Structures are given as structure tokens and as C-alpha cells.
Amino acid sequence: MSPDTLLQPSSAVTELPPGSVTPFDPATDFDPYVMATYGRYPIALERGEGCRVWDTAGREYLDFVAGIATCTLGHAHPVMVETVTRQIQTLHHVSNLYYVPAQGALAKWLIEHSCGDRAFFCNSGAEANEGAIKLARKYAHTVLNIENPVILTAHASFHGRTLATITATGQPKYQKGFSPLVPGFYYVPYNDIKALEQAIEELDSGDRQVAAILLEALQGEGGVRPGDRAYFQRIRQICDEKGILLICDEVQVGMGRSGHLWGYENLGIEPDIFTSAKGLGGGIPIGAMLCKSHCDIFQPGEHASTFGGNPFACAVALSVCQTIERDQLLTNVQERGEQLRAGLRAIVEKHPDAIAEVRGWGLINGLELKADSPLTSADVVKAAIAQGLLLVPAGPKVVRFVPPLIVSAAEIEQALKAVEMAF
């Protein structure tokens, strides 16, 4: 079946009433003006509600991408609509030259609901990770007295698209064509404690010294691979013994997506620094870096962000945080995640020649195709689109399921039926 055939809407895709269709042609309205930095699927989305979105042709889709694990409360959530409306009518941006009450309120909520003691706000996950990298390097020079610090990261990791964060990312495909990369990073296999211990020993015996370890609690872009509890607990022990900082990248797995508010809670450890973005603002751009008090060493002028922590973004993010808590969404994430994994395992049993396994936490789950299967994750995503379901790859052989945290049991069942039809 050709990709064009796969993308024809099935009977599972419903249409909006006449008059709601917006004329849109990518060849004339988009491609001539926008850089081709994405391989886009041939649908143009224009509105959403809850866990559903509609394209410009009036077709409805169940959204299990959620802006790539970003639309925490789905689309057009009443709390976000009310907060956005109120804040844009009040004060949307000033400067960090002044106190921003909404920023303080958001920082207080995050600190009271995490292991962090201080927060820095920015605009994205990459910027949050950049801040963590800078903080770790300053800590290395001023506290640990390390002349040539190294940050360990993992193979198959993903930490962002800036020069420093693609260097931290242990995937050569993201680095190709952008050399010279930023020095000071070293890669180790994920969930392999012997390899990590050996790397620290080798580096510390030379002219470089390990100052920090930067890891995702669950690797998202790397194939939805959860961290091993014993692995992370041993790393925490090593960091305590040697004074190394442990940094957790919570950009994708944090803010309730794992079934806990933070991914590190699944591992029984506390990082020295952790980062957040994506789901923090429910789709409004905001990032945050949080750290414990012993590494809160930035001085005025050493790190900053013009837009970071402005009243608009912070007010919306705080409303997302409070809604997660008030509506007990973590319970929904846990229950719907178990339901989704059970349903996906049943599909694995029906297609043993094509699918290898299901893995994940809460509402971040991956369906891995067998290495010898001719199917790719892109094939499955295209077939699911034809069934009215939006999914996203996590590498060439893993299909990722990251619906809004408000997803219902009925919507999980609808998605499972669409996946079965796609296969």
C-alpha cells in the first residue's frame, strides 16, 4: 500500500459540518515561505478540543501526539482559556529587571512539589538544559576546582537542538553537519553501570575530570526506554561519593507524564539539578531549570533570558500545575497508562512477526517493531493517520504514544482499535 493510499481518511475519520473547512494548500500557502526543517505529514491542523483535533479539510483526529508530550491538558482546556484571556488583558510581558509575582508563584509550586530549592525560567527544554550545562560547568570550576570538566551523557539520548545540547545528545544523526561541536561531553551506554564507572575512572585518571552526569529518567527520542532503578541509584551513590552533580532531563517525561509528577520519582533518587519544559506550560512555551541549594551559584548577570518567566507564560504554567493537582490527573495517567499498555500487548500477541514489545511509564509508551520487520515507525504512523489517530515515531522502529493527561478510557479504547486497524 502506498503512503498516499495510507493517508486517505477512513470511515473512522469524521467530518465537521459544511462551512467549517478552511482552504489551505501547502504548495502555495506554506512551503514557499517556511524552512523545510521538518518532514511534515500532509495534514494541516487548525483547531482542537480535549484530545481531538481537526484539520483544514474538516477531518477529526484523536491526538496521541499532544504536541509531542506537550499539551498536558489537551486542547482548549477551560482553565487555560480563562487564564490566557485574563493574563493577556492584564500584563503579558515585562522584564526580569523587576519582580514578577506570577514567576514567584510558579517557582514556589514547583519547589514545593519537587526536590528542587531554586528555579530559573526560560522558553524551552533546550534552553533549560543549556542552563543546567552552564551551571554544572561553573560548579566544576568554582566549587570542585576542576580545570577541564566533562559532563557524561548517554548514547541514544536527546537534550535539545542548540550547539551545546546537540553535543550532549548521544545521537550522531543530530550532530552531522554542525561541527565543530562543543567540547566537554563524553557518552556512555544507557542503563550500563559498569560502562559508566569505567568512563569516570578513565577520565579522572587523565587530564579531564567528570563534573556532572546528565541523563533522562526515561529516554524519549531514544525509543521510549525507561531508566533502570538500580542503575540510577548507583549513579546517585557515585555522585555523592565524588561530588559529581546528577542532572535529570525531565523535559519530556516530567510534569506528570510518567504517572508521577517527575520521572526521577520512578527511580527512587533525587537529582541535584533537573529541567522541565514541554508539558509545563501545556503548550505555551516555557522552560525551567531547578536545582538544590548547594549548587545555586549563579550570580546576577551570569545567566538570563529576556522572555523567560514572563507573567503570561508563568500564569498559564501555574494553572496547568494546579489543574494536575486539583483534578488528580496523576491517577488518571497511571490508570490510562496501564489500560493502554495492556491493549498494546494484546496487539503484539496478534502480530508477533511485526512487533517486538511494549514499554513505558504512565502516558509515555513505545511500541517497538521487530528489527527484521519491513515495517518502520513512519509506516505505522501513516496507517494510524488514515484511521483518524495521530501518533509520533521515536526512532525508525518505535511508535510513541503520548496523549494528553486528560485522556479518557473510551479514548484509549478508540486509539487501540485504530492501531489494530492500522496493522
Grid cell, residue 1, equals 500500500
**Rounded distance between C-alpha atoms, residue 290 and residue 120, angstroms:** 6
Report how far residue 285's alpha carbon sits from residue 267's, in angstroms, rounded to the nearest whole number: 28
- The pair phi, psi for residue 262, each rounded to 5°, is -125, 145
Residue with cell 508563584: 105
User: Do the Cβ atoms of 271 and 215 come closer than 8 Å?
Assistant: no
pLDDT for the residue numbered 23: 87
| Confidence band for 20, pLDDT divided at 50, 70 and 90 | low
d(CA 376, CA 291): 39
3-state secondary structure of 289: strand
Which CATH number applies to 3-74+330-422: 3.30.70.141, 1.10.3720.10, 3.40.50.12160, 3.90.1150.10?
A: 3.90.1150.10
Which pLDDT tens digit goes with each residue over 63-112?
A: 999 999 999 999 999 999 999 999 999 999 999 999 999 999 999 999 99
Q: How many angstroms separate the CA atoms of 381 and 384, rounded?
A: 5
Q: Which amino acid is at 394?
A: A
pLDDT for position 249: 98
Q: Report pLDDT for 10.
A: 42
Binned at pLDDT 50, 70 and 90, residue 185 comes out as very high
User: DSSP letter string over 104-150?
Assistant: HHHHHHHHHTSS-SEEEEESSHHHHHHHHHHHHHHHHHHTS--SSEE
Indicate the pLDDT class of residue 9, thresholds 50, 70 and 90: very low
Residue 125 pLDDT greater than 80, yes or no? yes
* Dihedral sign, Cα of residue 154, residue 159, residue 162, residue 165: negative
pLDDT band at 11 (very low <50, low <70, confident <90, very high): very low
Share of the chain above pLDDT 90, in %: 94
Q: Which CATH class is domain 79-326?
A: alpha beta
Residue the block writes with cell 493574563: 87
Give the DSSP letter of residue 21.
-
Q: Are 103 and 309 in contact (CB under 8 A)?
A: yes
Q: pTM above the 0.85 mark?
A: yes
- How do residues 42-73 score in pLDDT, each as one tens digit? 999 999 999 999 999 999 999 999 999 999 99
Domain ranges of the chain: 3-74+330-422, 79-326
Between CA 126 and CA 112 the distance in angstroms is 24
Cα–Cα distance between 45 and 57 in angstroms, integer? 9
Q: What is the pLDDT of residue 21?
A: 63
